[in-house]
Structure 1
């Protein structure tokens, strides 16, 4: 089991975001992967994994021990959801889906789970689209970033965004620098992924 000092180094993104503190550099670092769930040429949901860095304080009331590795139990998961995840709804869970340049609203997260992997906290969850989007008829891109740059999202490897489900074989994902949506007052250009069929 992890002791309280280690727990304090694990993450509570919402606590930082809610503080409204502006800074010149990130204070939370996350490596993400996203699985674009498709049916034919339509995107229906985005399944995500966030792997947090170590070494920064967190204060989560009601949790005194976490496993060294493996999933948290239902009670601990509920505490994380309430205190360090649900408040991210207003920021769309930092998930930006653009269709023909227009930002899309995503549905509520489903399947939220928390685990510890070699001392690092990991969130997994799925965001359904309000309505499926046919990428063969529209220009579609996905980006995961914090506009304030307080939280730094980096792709977890070269193939951080993939296609899953029942997509037609012509569907692809391609990373690009999204110069149309700079963040941190225009200083930082985030990476996004074009989805096409």
Structure 2
């Protein structure tokens, strides 16, 4: 599957194809991303989520203007801009598949910053930071973070031998995290229960 076709299906935003709506196509994931997320905190407040997405092996890239990529290393600035324009910014309406809930209410994010693309042994890797529209106070609130695609076209998995979600920045020592099955937000029509992380301080 070409990268441009993936984006058309993935975001339900590009006008090229509409197969995501077809049950035969959307019946299971077609793109796999291993991710890590670092919750940036100041004391007991969350200010941003810093993420790494590592696409599955064999995931091809066919973007206009990109003829070749390195086997390993950082993609140059021109190619990074093409990735952002053609295969990343269209996910803004989906908040880049990030779901941060405070007492059950979804929290908005600003536009991503520090977007970078690299290749690690032939696999495409995105890194970026999503700042919250305003900092979230964790104390005395129920706070949970999940990264998933509601359509289940993209499957988000944790990086092997790593903690998928961690605390960064200058968090208070009392802040902790715990993974759980988020049964309040089932995806793919209720057939799949996504994993999320509860954050408490």
Q: TM-score, normalised by structure 2?
A: 0.90
Cross-structure match for 1:14: 7
**What are the equivalent positions in structure 2 for 1:127-138 lying under 5 Å apart?**
127-138=130-141
Cross-structure match for 1:47: 50
**What are the equivalent positions in structure 2 for 1:57-72 lying under 5 Å apart?**
57-72=60-75
Cross-structure match for 2:34: 31
Cross-structure match for 1:108: 111
| Distance in 2 of aligned mates of 1:58 and 1:111 | 21
| Distance in 1 of aligned mates of 2:164 and 2:5 | 23
Does the 8 A contact of 1:145 with 1:152 survive in 2? yes
| Distance in 1 of aligned mates of 2:115 and 2:140 | 31
Q: State the Cα RMSD in Å.
A: 1.6
Q: Residue 108 of structure 1 aligns to a residue in which SS?
A: coil
Q: How many residues align?
A: 190
> Any stretches of 5+ residues in structure 2 without a counterpart?
21-25
Does the 8 A contact of 1:11 with 1:52 survive in 2? no
Does the 8 A contact of 1:71 with 1:115 survive in 2? yes
Cα displacement (A) at 1:32: 0.6
Q: TM-score, normalised by structure 1?
A: 0.91
1:184 aligns with 2:188: yes
Cα displacement (A) at 1:122: 0.2
**What are the equivalent positions in structure 2 for 1:26-175 lying under 5 Å apart?**
26-157=29-160, 158-175=162-179
> Any stretches of 5+ residues in structure 1 without a counterpart?
1-7
